[in-house]
């Protein structure tokens, strides 16, 4: 399935739909039953989960690093990142490798999600601002909500997600043993 | 089409000369100093030599003298690249056996005009 | 013809900056008072090239500036002008100006026009001539302001070339061709001087010519035709007996410059340099990366291939070739340290003048090669060390004389290979370091306890502690808020180290140790629980299994063990890295004793695995700096292994002691 989604993404990209006027394209994935979307242009690769090398002195959600054709790429578990319930990895578990922009340039980051679902074509008018979810989900990393086929898709701001200090204060304290 | 040996220790000058001459359909060989030029001249036959005067290892004057001593280059046109500040260099070059000179700075057109005079 | 000369500008800038460096070091050589004619020739040649190029490539301001400079240098070279200290200083300033002008033209940097005009003015004043016209305008073959510019109906030309004319490559036929383009030409040959056939040298010319050139032709145009050979012939040019109507008519100018030439198609072909080519560092790095990949693939193949005897020979060959390829590719990144050293003569010259000190800089080993990145990163620390020597090390001349030393102090800068490392030594014969002052300061700052006895070298090492400075007053030169601690940290971040030795009254020596390259490392793989880490081989002192009696638990200092009269703190890697070890009993596993800058710690690991050369990958490229980890590498099976940061772990162990202390008091 992962492969199918990635091929589809490639084809759509080649047709140039992603660059069309008011339409934006997102790769959607599933996390604890919820749908999330990330800008398709940021997606480098979708691959099945393979064991990573754990990096000490890093937060729990930082699963470790992976060799991606000679580049060392950090892999982040999105369930842990969003403080959702942890589950066993299955054959469906996939890693989405994407590029993240920051002041210092572009970096590659892989995220572990439950499954990749679809490539979405979202007209701009279908994107709504983010309401306040209360404590359940941190909304600072969400750019907006898109409704697609009566589904609600949370559009992630990946730059924000990986550039804010990844360690909450409690976790930093926990690290210093 | 003629085969030309371009000698200058400045890479940018060399590039400019080579680019200009190649553009006019000539076959250009480059050398960065007199020694290198002499070696290349000996292993080939050039219809024209264009050389800077001030160069490390072997200067242009010595190069001209060495070339003129070779049977292959007795009558080959040799042009020196001189600056107006070194007017005496023109004559020094001549005395060593140069055919003539091109005054630096020059533009590509001047270069082409001058060499077309001496190429048969 | 459309040839855009700006395409050669980049090359011109690069070679000009190199030329300026040559000028600078040459001038500093002259400054040393040595009568070095080779130096002045090099300086002149560099200035000459910059002038020629700048004029050709349209940088007229640079050309006119260099013109004065070159004229001065020409006089110095010919011995027509004395080389004075003032002269050298002004020329050095000119070099700075030119560098600034070229940078401004290249990258649009700010230009201090005032300063440049000032230096230009002083250069002209020194030259003694205010030449209004800068002779830099685009070349036009020859000057057209010949005195005889009047036109008439034609010229009689008597042309008797000397016998050797053909040997200069000038053929009379060419002159005739050119004259023919100017007007109606009639040629009459005189053969009176031709010798008997038997005596004739085919390379000599025995003919002379009477030429009649009819038409409205400028005298200067004829002069142009003969300009190259005016000294190689007898030439008489007289106007044809004038007809009444030869009143000056405007001449149709058809000088050689206007003559059309074969239109030239632009060949896009890049020009190749014979001896070397310039390649962007990014290209080199991508080749290095690819070779790194190749090494990994090769090692994967040899692991898999072990089962197939038929493949062995081929795989062995592949391994040799890959290793050689990798070595060669790494060499592409290596540069001689002269790239850093070359700036120091100027630095020493300027600073010693400012301080009123007499200092000689002696450099050796400039050709020792180092990785480009190491060279770039070591520059600032070295500048700092040298400034320290100049500022705090070397005494004023009168103080030196009083101490019975020569008035001129010496700073030595030396680079050499030693055991897989590059050593750079900065040594001076100055006043050395007063250890009692250092100690007093350290106690005052609370860096050490007054009751603890310290060896001399331990006292000197205090200089590298954060926040330490022995300078009585903050000087303009070294006291820029950068301490020796920053120097040490910068050098450590390169995987190197720095040590100091000093003898009061005799001088100090600072030794900087650097790795040859940042790209490869010889590593020892260690096992910690289910994880493998790489320990840089250079930092390993020894590995040992310890006995219970060697152990010691010092309150406030944590776990230590005794190794040949030395207490060495233990770091249990599984604790720091929070992993599940096979052994928690310290006598069961292994202790890897590592050292950095004189401090040793014992790393407690489960086991030692193989040693291998690994390609270093940065964790920071895609993630961030992690405490205790200096980087990562990719193993033969494609998995990632982390490389331990030994200086970082030593710091971490000190922090641990502190938290231990906190725990115990709690």
**Which residue did the predictor score with more confidence, C555 or C290?**
C290
How do residues A80-117 score in pLDDT, each as one tens digit?
888 888 888 888 889 999 999 877 778 899 999 999 98
**Nearest-CB residue to A56 (from C296, C577, C632):** C577
Number of B–C residue contacts, CB under 8 Å: 174
**Which residue did the predictor score with more confidence, C518 or C178?**
C178
Same domain, C363 and C501: yes
- Its pTM stands at 0.50
Which chain B residues are within 8 Å of C229, Cβ to Cβ? Answer: 100
Looking at residue B7, what is its pLDDT? 93
Task: Kindly tell me if the per-residue pLDDT of C658 is higher than 70.
Answer: no
Across the interface, do C53 and B13 touch by the CB < 8 Å criterion?
Answer: yes
Across the interface, do C640 and A176 touch by the CB < 8 Å criterion?
Answer: no
Across the interface, do B85 and C45 touch by the CB < 8 Å criterion?
Answer: no
Q: How many helices (H) and strands (E) does chain C have?
A: 18, 22
CA distance C141 to chain B (A): 6
Q: Does B22 contact C at CB distance below 8 Å?
A: yes
Across the interface, do C166 and B118 touch by the CB < 8 Å criterion?
Answer: no
Task: Kindly tell me if the per-residue pLDDT of B84 is higher than 70.
Answer: no
Residue of B nearest to C135 (CA): B84
Query: What is the extent of the structural domain holding C638?
Result: 520-665
Q: Is residue C20 part of a domain?
A: yes
Strand order in the sheet with B3-7: B27-31, B3-7, B48-52, B78-83, B100-104
Q: Is residue C526 part of a domain?
A: yes
How do residues C613-625 score in pLDDT, each as one tens digit?
787 888 888 888 8
Q: Is residue C375 part of a domain?
A: yes
**Nearest-CB residue to C578 (from A52, A56, A66):** A56
Looking at residue C512, what is its pLDDT? 93
| Rounded distance between C-alpha atoms, residue A119 and residue C395, angstroms | 74
Per annotation, catalytic residue among C48, C93, C144, C190: C48
CA distance A132 to chain C (A): 30
Which chain C residues are within 8 Å of B84, Cβ to Cβ? Answer: 135
Listing DSSP states for C489-544 in one string gives HHHHHTT-EEEEEEETTTEEEEEEEEES-SSEEEEEEEEETTEEEEEEGGGEEEEE
**Which residue did the predictor score with more confidence, C154 or C407?**
C407
- C418 near C426, Cβ under 8 Å? no
| Rounded distance between C-alpha atoms, residue C336 and residue C369, angstroms | 4
Strand (E) positions, C152-200? Answer: 154-161, 184-190
Which chain C residues are within 8 Å of B109, Cβ to Cβ? Answer: 1, 257, 261
User: What's the Cα-to-Cα distance from C280 to each of A130, C62, C284, C318, C516, rounded to whole Å?
Assistant: 46, 27, 7, 28, 21
For A22, residues 6+ apart whose C-beta sits below 8 A from its C-beta are A123, A124, A125
Calculate mean pLDDT across residues C203-219: 79
**Nearest-CB residue to C261 (from B78, B101, B112):** B112
Task: Kindly tell me if the per-residue pLDDT of C300 is higher than 50.
Answer: yes
Calculate mean pLDDT across residues B45-55: 89
Looking at residue C657, what is its pLDDT? 57
Across the interface, do C273 and B11 touch by the CB < 8 Å criterion?
Answer: yes
Across the interface, do A54 and C531 touch by the CB < 8 Å criterion?
Answer: yes
Residue C85 — pLDDT band, cuts 50, 70, 90? confident
How do residues C568-602 score in pLDDT, each as one tens digit?
899 999 988 888 888 888 888 899 999 887 788 99
Q: Angle at CA C99, nearest 5°, toward C97 and C104?
A: 95
Task: Kindly tell me if the per-residue pLDDT of C556 is higher than 80.
Answer: no
Task: Kindly tell me if the per-residue pLDDT of C134 is higher than 70.
Answer: no
Across the interface, do C139 and B114 touch by the CB < 8 Å criterion?
Answer: no
| Rounded distance between C-alpha atoms, residue B10 and residue C53, angstroms | 8
Coil, strand, or helix at residue C82? coil
Same domain, C658 and C539: yes
Residue of C nearest to A64 (CA): C640
End residue of a domain, out of C226, C241, C256: C241
Residue C173 in tokens: 């036929």
Residue C26 in tokens: 């040459």
Calculate mean pLDDT across residues C267-292: 66
Task: Kindly tell me if the per-residue pLDDT of B85 is higher than 70.
Answer: no
**Nearest-CB residue to C640 (from A56, A69, A72):** A72
Please say if C110 is a catalytic residue. no
Looking at residue A109, what is its pLDDT? 93
Nearest to B17 by CA among B52, B60, B47: B52
Task: Kindly tell me if the per-residue pLDDT of A16 is higher than 90.
Answer: no
| Rounded distance between C-alpha atoms, residue C378 and residue C344, angstroms | 13
Within 10 angstroms of residue C46's Cβ, the number of other Cβ atoms is: 27
Task: Kindly tell me if the per-residue pLDDT of B3 is higher than 60.
Answer: yes
Mutate to test the interface with B, among C168, C177, C179, C274 (most CBs of B within 10 A): C168
**Nearest-CB residue to B32 (from C51, C139, C274):** C274
Q: Does C639 contact A at CB distance below 8 Å?
A: yes
Which chain B residues are within 8 Å of C138, Cβ to Cβ? Answer: 105, 107
CA distance C641 to chain A (A): 7
End residue of a domain, out of C333, C363, C393: C333
How do residues B30-45 score in pLDDT, each as one tens digit?
998 899 999 888 888 8
Looking at residue C361, what is its pLDDT? 92
Calculate mean pLDDT across residues C291-304: 80
- B4 near B115, Cβ under 8 Å? yes
Looking at residue C259, what is its pLDDT? 36
Across the interface, do B24 and C141 touch by the CB < 8 Å criterion?
Answer: no
Q: What is the CATH number of the domain that holds C9?
A: 1.20.120.160
| Burial profile C248-277: b = 16 or more Cβ within 10 angstroms, e = fewer | eeebeebbbbeeeeeebeeeeeebeeeeee
- B79 near B50, Cβ under 8 Å? yes
**Which residue did the predictor score with more confidence, C250 or C90?**
C90
Which chain C residues are within 8 Å of B113, Cβ to Cβ? Answer: 141, 256-257, 259, 261
Residue A11 — pLDDT band, cuts 50, 70, 90? very low
Looking at residue B120, what is its pLDDT? 64
CA distance A61 to chain C (A): 13
Across the interface, do B24 and C142 touch by the CB < 8 Å criterion?
Answer: no
Mutate to test the interface with B, among C7, C271, C273 (most CBs of B within 10 A): C271
Residue of C nearest to A66 (CA): C640
How do residues C348-366 score in pLDDT, each as one tens digit?
988 888 888 999 999 999 8
Q: Chain C neighbours among B 86-115 (CB < 8 Å)?
A: 86, 91, 94, 97-110, 112-114
Q: DSSP character for B38?
A: H
Residue of C nearest to A177 (CA): C659
CA distance C577 to chain A (A): 5
Mutate to test the interface with A, among C529, C532, C623, C666 (most CBs of A within 10 A): C623
Residue C55 — pLDDT band, cuts 50, 70, 90? confident
Structural domains of chain C, count? 5
CA distance A91 to chain C (A): 20
Please say if C388 is a catalytic residue. yes
Task: Kindly tell me if the per-residue pLDDT of A57 is higher than 60.
Answer: yes
- C365 near C329, Cβ under 8 Å? no
CA distance C331 to chain A (A): 21
Nearest to C561 by CA among C551, C571, C553: C551
Residue C11 in tokens: 């090359």
Residue C275 — pLDDT band, cuts 50, 70, 90? low
Q: DSSP character for A53?
A: B
CA distance A51 to chain C (A): 9
| Rounded distance between C-alpha atoms, residue C169 and residue C430, angstroms | 64
Residue C84 in tokens: 């004075």
Same domain, C498 and C447: yes
Residue of C nearest to B90 (CA): C228
pLDDT-above-70 percentage for chain C = 85
Q: What is the CATH number of domain A2-175?
A: 2.40.50.180
Looking at residue B6, what is its pLDDT? 92
- To the nearest 10°, the Cα dihedral for C643, C646, C652, C654? 170
Please say if C421 is a catalytic residue. no
Looking at residue C241, what is its pLDDT? 66
Looking at residue C369, what is its pLDDT? 86
Looking at residue C127, what is its pLDDT? 78
Calculate mean pLDDT across residues A149-173: 68
Nearest to C591 by CA among C611, C561, C621: C561
Residues making up chain B, counted from first to last: 120
B3-118 fold: Rossmann fold (3.40.50)
As a whole number, the mean pLDDT across chain C is 79
End residue of a domain, out of C213, C241, C269: C241
Across the interface, do A72 and C576 touch by the CB < 8 Å criterion?
Answer: no
Domain ranges of chain B: 3-118
Nearest to C570 by CA among C579, C578, C561, C562: C561
- B78 near B65, Cβ under 8 Å? no
| Rounded distance between C-alpha atoms, residue B105 and residue B118, angstroms | 20
3+ Cβ–Cβ pairs closer than 8 Å linking B and A? no
Same domain, C172 and C26: no
- C644 near C536, Cβ under 8 Å? yes
As a whole number, the mean pLDDT across chain A is 77
Q: Chain C neighbours among B 23-52 (CB < 8 Å)?
A: 23-25, 28, 30-32, 36, 52
Highest mean pLDDT pick, C2-6, C207-211, C342-346: C342-346
**Nearest-CB residue to C623 (from A51, A74, A177):** A74
For C140, residues 6+ apart whose C-beta sits below 8 A from its C-beta are B110, C257
Q: Is residue C564 part of a domain?
A: yes
| Range with lowest mean pLDDT among B41-55, C72-86, C262-276 | C262-276
Same domain, C562 and C575: yes
For B3, residues 6+ apart whose C-beta sits below 8 A from its C-beta are B26, B27, B28, B29, B44, B45, B46, B47, B48
- A64 near A54, Cβ under 8 Å? yes
| Rounded distance between C-alpha atoms, residue C339 and residue C330, angstroms | 18
Nearest to C9 by CA among C137, C107, C104, C106: C106
Across the interface, do C623 and A65 touch by the CB < 8 Å criterion?
Answer: yes
- C210 near C157, Cβ under 8 Å? yes
Torsion over CA: C194, C200, C202, C204 (sign) = negative
Mutate to test the interface with B, among C169, C202, C265 (most CBs of B within 10 A): C169
Task: Kindly tell me if the per-residue pLDDT of C652 is higher than 70.
Answer: yes
Calculate mean pLDDT across residues C494-520: 86
Same domain, C173 and C32: no
Mutate to test the interface with B, among C232, C264, C277 (most CBs of B within 10 A): C264
CA distance B114 to chain C (A): 8
Which chain C residues are within 8 Å of B54, Cβ to Cβ? Answer: 44-45, 48-49
């Amino acid at each position: 399935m992962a492969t199918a989604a990635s091929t589809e993404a490639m084809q759509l990209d080649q047709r140039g739909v992603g660059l069309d006027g008011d339409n934006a394209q997102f790769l959607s994935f599933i996390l604890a039953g919820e749908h999330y979307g990330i800008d398709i242009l940021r997606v480098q690769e979708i691959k099945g989960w393979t064991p990573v090398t754990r990096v000490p002195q890093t937060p729990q959600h930082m699963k470790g690093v992976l060799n991606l054709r000679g580049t060392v790429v950090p892999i982040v578990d999105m369930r842990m990142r969003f403080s959702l319930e942890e589950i066993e990895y299955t054959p469906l578990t996939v890693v989405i490798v994407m590029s993240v922009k920051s002041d210092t340039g572009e970096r590659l980051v892989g995220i572990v999600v439950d499954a990749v679902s679809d490539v979405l074509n979202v007209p701009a008018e279908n994107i709504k601002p983010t309401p306040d979810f209360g404590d359940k989900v941190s909304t600072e990393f969400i750019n907006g909500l898109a409704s697609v086929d009566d589904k609600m898709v949370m559009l992630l701001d990946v730059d924000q997600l990986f550039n804010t200090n990844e360690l909450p204060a409690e976790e930093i304290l926990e690290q210093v043993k | 089409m003629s085969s030309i040996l371009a000698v200058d220790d400045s890479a940018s000058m060399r590039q400019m000369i080579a680019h200009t001459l190649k553009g006019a359909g000539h076959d250009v060989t480059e050398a960065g100093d007199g020694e290198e030029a002499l070696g290349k001249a000996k292993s080939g036959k050039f219809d024209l030599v264009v050389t800077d005067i001030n160069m490390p290892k072997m200067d242009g004057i010595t190069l001209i003298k060495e070339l003129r001593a070779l049977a292959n280059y007795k009558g080959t046109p040799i042009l020196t690249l001189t600056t107006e500040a070194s007017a005496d260099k023109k004559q020094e070059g001549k005395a060593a056996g140069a055919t003539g000179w091109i005054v630096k700075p020059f533009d590509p057109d001047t270069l082409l005009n001058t060499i077309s005079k001496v190429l048969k | 013809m459309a040839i855009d000369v700006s395409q050669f500008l980049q090359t011109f800038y690069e070679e000009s900056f190199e030329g300026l460096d040559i000028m600078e070091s040459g001038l500093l050589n002259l400054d040393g008072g040595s009568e070095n004619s080779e130096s002045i020739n090099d300086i002149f040649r560099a200035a000459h090239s910059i002038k020629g190029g700048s004029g050709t490539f349209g940088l007229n301001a640079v050309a006119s500036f260099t013109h004065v400079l070159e004229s001065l240098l020409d006089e110095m070279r010919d011995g027509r002008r004395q080389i004075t200290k003032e002269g050298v200083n002004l020329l050095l300033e000119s070099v700075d100006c030119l560098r600034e002008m070229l940078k401004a033209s290249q990258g649009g940097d700010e230009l201090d026009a005032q300063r440049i005009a000032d230096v230009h003015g002083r250069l002209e004043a020194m030259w003694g001539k205010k030449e209004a016209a800068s002779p830099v305008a685009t070349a036009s073959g020859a000057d057209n302001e010949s005195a005889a510019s009047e036109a008439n109906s034609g010229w009689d030309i008597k042309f008797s070339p000397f016998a050797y004319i053909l040997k200069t490559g000038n053929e009379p036929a060419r002159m005739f061709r050119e004259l023919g383009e100017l007007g109606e030409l009639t040629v009459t040959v005189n053969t009176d001087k031709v010798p008997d056939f038997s005596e004739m040298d085919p390379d000599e010319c025995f003919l002379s010519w009477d030429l009649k050139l009819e038409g409205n032709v400028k005298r200067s145009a004829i002069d142009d035709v003969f300009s190259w050979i005016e000294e190689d012939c007898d030439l008489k040019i007289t106007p044809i007996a004038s007809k009444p109507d030869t009143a000056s008519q405007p001449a149709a100018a058809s000088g050689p410059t206007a003559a059309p030439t074969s239109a030239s198609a632009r060949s896009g072909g890049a020009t190749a340099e014979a001896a070397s080519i310039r390649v962007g560092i990014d290209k080199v790095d991508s080749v290095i990366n690819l070779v790194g990949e190749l090494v990994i693939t090769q090692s994967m193949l040899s692991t898999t291939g072990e089962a197939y005897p038929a493949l062995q020979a081929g795989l062995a060959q592949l391994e040799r070739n890959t290793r050689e390829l990798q070595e060669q590719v790494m060499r592409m990144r290596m540069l001689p340290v002269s790239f850093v050293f070359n700036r120091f003569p100027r630095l020493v010259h300027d600073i010693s003048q400012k301080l009123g000190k007499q200092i000689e800089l002696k450099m050796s080993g400039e050709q020792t090669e180092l990785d480009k990145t190491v060279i770039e990163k070591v520059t600032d620390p070295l500048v700092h060390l040298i400034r320290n020597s100049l500022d705090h090390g070397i005494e004023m001349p009168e103080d030196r004389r009083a101490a019975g030393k020569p008035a001129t102090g010496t700073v030595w800068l030396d680079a050499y290979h030693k055991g897989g490392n590059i050593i750079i030594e900065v040594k001076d014969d100055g006043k050395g370091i007063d250890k009692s002052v250092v100690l007093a300061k350290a106690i005052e700052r609370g860096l050490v306890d007054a009751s603890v006895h310290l060896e001399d070298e331990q006292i000197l090492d205090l200089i590298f502690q954060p926040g330490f400075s022995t300078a009585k007053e903050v000087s303009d030169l070294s006291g820029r808020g950068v301490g020796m601690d920053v120097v040490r940290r910068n050098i450590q971040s390169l995987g190197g180290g720095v040590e100091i030795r000093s003898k009061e009254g005799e001088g100090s020596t600072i030794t900087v140790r650097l790795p040859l390259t940042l790209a490869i490392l010889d590593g020892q793989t260690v096992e910690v629980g289910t994880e493998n880490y790489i320990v840089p081989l250079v930092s390993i002192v020894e590995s040992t299994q310890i006995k219970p009696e060697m152990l010691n638990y010092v309150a406030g200092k944590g776990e230590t063990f005794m190794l040949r009269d030395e207490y060495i703190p233990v770091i249990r890697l599984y604790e720091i890295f929070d992993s599940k070890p096979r052994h928690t009993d310290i006598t069961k596993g292994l202790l890897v004793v590592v050292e950095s800058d004189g401090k040793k710690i014992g790393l407690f690991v489960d086991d030692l695995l193989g040693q291998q050369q690994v390609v270093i990958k940065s964790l920071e490229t895609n993630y961030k700096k992690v405490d205790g980890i200096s980087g990562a590498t990719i193993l033969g099976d494609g998995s990632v292994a982390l490389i331990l940061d030994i200086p970082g772990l030593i710091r971490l162990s000190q922090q641990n002691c502190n938290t231990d202390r906190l725990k115990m008091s709690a």
